[in-house]
């Protein structure tokens, strides 16, 4: 299923390192912002997480850098849900230069649904699992 962008933004000069391209800490931050937009689409909204004492924790994140991004570049991230399990999801995010269409980086993340008071994983609600099933995408080759 083609997804709407989960993040749009720009690279600011203060996000660039000594060689002039966006530092890796900002890739992680922008992917994180996209995470929360994807989660909200699945029903894992801030109000749900607060009301039910739930949270999401990343347990694995692998990033591949393909092209540099420079100050002023406009970026877009699209998120693709790859797997839904009882207590976890796995998804891929693709960061592109919105002007050129070139992929700058992609990452694959596994996130676990947590009970914040017990500090343990917890099953997704049936409603969230059903919504997530609608967003499943075919795996993409690197």
Rounded Cα gap, residues 120 and 32, in angstroms: 21
Residue 104 has pLDDT above 70, yes or no: yes
Check if the beta carbon of residue 71 is closer than 8 Å to that of residue 80. no
Per-residue confidence (pLDDT) for residue 4, from 0 to 100: 84
Q: How many residues does the chain have?
A: 142
Q: Please state the domain extents for the chain.
A: 5-135
Check if the beta carbon of residue 105 is closer than 8 Å to that of residue 63. yes
pLDDT tens by residue, 115-129: 999 999 999 999 999
* CA separation, residue 4 to residues 24, 47, 77, 113, 140 (Å): 24, 22, 9, 23, 17
Say which residue, 92 or 1, is predicted with more confidence.
Answer: 92
5-135: CATH number: 3.10.129.10
pLDDT tens by residue, 66-80: 999 999 999 999 999
pTM for the structure as a whole: 0.91
Residue 1 has pLDDT above 50, yes or no: no
Per-residue confidence (pLDDT) for residue 138, from 0 to 100: 65
């Amino acid at each position: 299923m083609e997804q709407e962008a989960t993040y749009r933004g720009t690279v600011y000069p203060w996000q660039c390192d000594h060689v002039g391209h966006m530092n890796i800490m900002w890739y992680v931050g922008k992917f994180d912002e996209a995470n929360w937009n994807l989660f909200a689409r699945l029903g894992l909204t801030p109000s749900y997480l607060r009301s039910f004492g739930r949270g999401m924790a990343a347990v694995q994140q692998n990033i591949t850098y393909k092209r540099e991004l420079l100050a002023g570049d406009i970026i877009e991230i699209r998120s693709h849900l790859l797997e839904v399990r009882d207590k976890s999801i796995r998804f891929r995010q693709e960061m592109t230069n919105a002007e050129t269409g070139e992929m700058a980086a992609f990452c694959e993340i596994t996130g676990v649904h947590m009970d914040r008071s017990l500090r343990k994983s917890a099953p997704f609600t049936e409603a969230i699992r059903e919504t997530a099933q609608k967003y499943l995408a075919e795996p993409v080759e690197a």
